[in-house]
Amino acid sequence: METLLNAEQIEEGVDRMAAYVQSVCPRPPLVLVGVLTGSLPMVADLIRRLDLPLRLALIQARSYRGPKHQQGELKIDDRLLPDLRGSHVVVVDDIFDTGQTLAGVVEQLQRRRPSSLHSAVLLRKQIGGAKSVEPDFVAFDIPDKFVVGYGLDLNDLYRNLPYVATLDPGEGP
């Protein structure tokens, strides 16, 4: 395991994300929508940095299955979302790679008629190919490597690490 981003760097990235969120929400109501489960540590840190009234909501989106983390069909569970009509919404996710998750979540949220809808991600993998959507805010661009820590996992492990690290093939449980 090799550290890619240490805890201080992540803090700086979350600070930049907080400034971005403050800039796109001219007035309440703001609804911050965290994508479960990987965004939880970042969302917890982010809301403590925001100096404006907000509501917190969660949505679950999963497309990776099994120990080999192969991408499959995107499954979205939006039962935890409040009414978003007329709200300024910022969806927050841990990582952007293929764009499939963000595109699906944005589509689901747009159906709820928010006043505005923005997206912010901690990490964006530098991988080729056209994407149907790009995040509005990216804290860090990273190489196309498998990463864990700060919410990111391998078989639901390593989410608790205070840093982001790369795993070499064969590493992990």
Q: How far apart are CA 34 and CA 42, in angstroms?
A: 9
State which amino acid sits at residue 79.
R
> Does the active-site annotation cover 15?
no
Neighbouring residues of 57: CB distance < 8 A, sequence distance ≥ 6: 31, 32, 33, 34, 80, 81, 82, 84
Q: Does the bond joining 162 to the residue before it have cis omega, within 30 degrees of 0?
A: no
Residue of 15, 45, 77, 97 marked catalytic: 97
Q: Check if the beta carbon of residue 157 is closer than 8 Å to that of residue 145.
A: no
CB 144 within 8 A of CB 126: yes
Give the active site residues.
97
